[in-house]
Amino acid sequence: MDQSSNHVVGVDNTSRKKFDREEILQRARERDEEEADGRKSKSKGPPVQRKPLKPRDYQVDLESRLGKTQVVTPIAPLSQQAGYYCPVCECVVKDSANYLDHINGKKHQRALGMSMRVERSSLEQVQQRFESLKKRKDPGSFTVQDFDERMLKQQQEEEERKRLRREKKKEKKKEKVSEEEPEIDPDVAAMMGFGGFKTSKK
Amino acid sequence: MANRTDPLAKSIRGTNPQNLVEKILRSKIYQNTYWKEQCFGLTAETLVDKAMELDHLGGTFGGNRKPSPFICLVMKMLQIQPEKDIVVEFIKNEDYKYVRVLGAFYLRLTGTDIDIYRYLEPLYNDYRKLRRKSADGQYALTHVDEYIDELLTTDYSCDIALPRIKKRIITVGEVQLGREIGIEDETVTDTVGGSYIGS
Ligand SMILES: [Zn+2]
């Protein structure tokens, strides 16, 4: 015991700091002032009014680039890189699941100016919704505009189908050509009496 | 974040409403594409659109237990907790049977015993057909009244454990509702059991 107290007198590098009440109080005051300032400067800007969350009014396009071949280089612009490109946040997401997570996420919705909260609907809103949807499904209120829209949609779908079919055919043809090349010479075939199916019927 | 319960929602049976769906199924729903694509940002009002599009009910199916749209919408309702009169509107609507069943299921999960009997029992008069997707992915035929019976007499439906409710006879005895609970729905007034969920 005695020894240790003697030791402290020698080199005072292990001693505790003394509690200086004045100094601490001073520091506390400074901190308070700083915080008050900080809060003021934060609240100076008008609070951001974000719109309530809305469901998307369009179908998320996850498949338009499915099955396509594409050259991917690291220097290409983001929108042409592999994966799903979000033009709002200017970022690329690697797969559809993550893309959905991204566009549902806080960061993306913030960029669109939305909060993550949805509005609470009233009974009247719900009742009106029922009414308007019922009318829409009612064939009696079928308008010319609806008809035109449907025709257009059908045409587009049909074209898309045709295009796909054409592509498939092309691929098949390519395969066939490479398979059929070592065939018998048509002249020889004609001499032997089986000139092929095309010419036999006329 | 997109899966957060509405901050204004009341807790049901002492817990976050979404917890009424057990954890594994919950995470399956959160990962589901229909959930992410179609259920995002829905309000009670816009949920009507999706509910009208339903063409079958069911829990999960297939080897990886894919959740049905029906169960996703149940989850969405737990998340946004529509007012009781909106749920009743779902149940009372005559035109869309799946909307009706969806409302019934939600009320069975969240309502008081009295409300459950009051609003679900009248549906014993609805004999319309329903398509139900079973766990193996096959569709089976059922009927509204049949399904309501399942909701009122069992404690498990569509892969969700239903809270225990008292037998009807006890409920009737306790509250002396007698006729009020009965089939005539139009006479229902709000004098009994004003409390709805939580509180
Ligand atoms: Zn984004």
**Residue pairs spanning A and B at CB distance below 8 A:** 77
Tell me what pLDDT residue A143 has.
61
B69-80 and B23-31 helices, crossing angle to 10°: 100
Backbone conformation region of residue A129, classed left if phi is above 0, alpha if psi is from -120 to 50, else beta: alpha
User: CA B55 to CA A167: how far, in whole Å?
Assistant: 35
pLDDT tens sequence across A13-72: 666 777 788 888 999 999 888 877 765 554 445 566 778 787 887 778 777 777 777 777
Does one domain contain both B121 and B198? no
Cβ–Cβ < 8 Å for B117, B193: no
User: CA B123 to CA B100: how far, in whole Å?
Assistant: 9
Best probe of the A interface among B48, B50, B66, by most A CBs < 10 A, is B48
* Coil, strand or helix at B7: coil
Say which of B1, B7, B89 has its CB closest to residue A105. Answer: B1
Residue type, B102: L
Does one domain contain both B59 and B140? yes
Task: Compute the distance from residue A39 Cα to the ligand 1 centre, in Å.
Answer: 30
Distance of CA B130 to the CA centre of its chain: 15
Q: Enumerate the residues of chain B whose CB falls inside 8 A of the CB of residue A60.
A: 37
B97-110 and B44-53 helices, crossing angle to 10°: 130
Does one domain contain both B172 and B75? no
Asked if B134 reaches chain A (Cβ–Cβ under 8 Å), the answer is no
Does one domain contain both B145 and B172? no
Domain ranges of chain A: 49-55+69-134
Q: Do A118 and B42 touch (CB under 8 A)?
A: yes
Does one domain contain both B177 and B139? no
Cβ–Cβ < 8 Å for B32, B66: yes
Residue B9 forms part of a structural domain: no
B199 pLDDT more than 50 = no
User: CA A33 to CA B197: how far, in whole Å?
Assistant: 47
**Residue A99, Cβ neighbours under 10 Å: how many?**
20
Task: Compute the distance from residue A85 Cα to the ligand 1 centre, in Å.
Answer: 8
Q: Is the dihedral of CA B38, B43, B46, B50 positive or negative?
A: positive
Does one domain contain both B67 and B28? yes
pLDDT band at A145 (very low <50, low <70, confident <90, very high): low
HSE value, Cβ hemisphere, 13 Å, CA-based, for B176: 0
Residue B41 forms part of a structural domain: yes
Rounded mean pLDDT of chain A?
A: 76
Does one domain contain both B68 and B81? yes
Best probe of the B interface among A123, A134, A136, by most B CBs < 10 A, is A123
Q: Do B33 and A100 touch (CB under 8 A)?
A: yes
Tell me what pLDDT residue B196 has.
45
pLDDT band at B193 (very low <50, low <70, confident <90, very high): very low
Which residues neighbour B76 within 8 Å (Cβ) at sequence distance 6 or greater? B35, B39, B42, B47
Does one domain contain both B116 and B180? no
pLDDT tens sequence across B21-62: 999 999 999 999 999 999 998 999 999 999 999 999 999 999
Residue B7 forms part of a structural domain: no
Residue B71 forms part of a structural domain: yes
The 8-class DSSP code of residue A92 comes to E
User: CA B72 to CA B81: how far, in whole Å?
Assistant: 14
Q: Enumerate the residues of chain A whose CB falls inside 8 A of the CB of residue B2.
A: 104-105, 116
Which residues neighbour B93 within 8 Å (Cβ) at sequence distance 6 or greater? A130, B99, B100
pLDDT tens sequence across B111-157: 999 999 999 999 999 999 999 999 999 999 999 999 999 999 999 99
Say which of A100, A106, A118 has its CB closest to residue B36. Answer: A100
Cβ–Cβ < 8 Å for B18, B26: yes
Does one domain contain both B136 and B185? no
Does one domain contain both B22 and B87? yes
Task: Compute the distance from residue A114 Cα to the ligand 1 centre, in Å.
Answer: 12
User: Do the bridges between strand B156-157 and strand A51-53 make them parallel or antiparallel, or are there none, so unpaired?
Assistant: unpaired
Two tokens, residue B172: 């009737």
Does one domain contain both B156 and B183? no
**What's the number of domains chain B is made of?**
2
Task: Compute the distance from residue A99 Cα to the ligand 1 centre, in Å.
Answer: 8
Q: Do B41 and A55 touch (CB under 8 A)?
A: yes
Tell me what pLDDT residue B112 has.
92
**Could you list the residue range(s) of the whole structural domain that residue B196 is in?**
166-199
Q: pTM above the 0.90 mark?
A: no
Cβ–Cβ < 8 Å for A73, A138: no
Q: Do A126 and B7 touch (CB under 8 A)?
A: no
Q: Measuring CA to CA, which residue among B57, B98, B51 is closest to residue B76?
A: B51
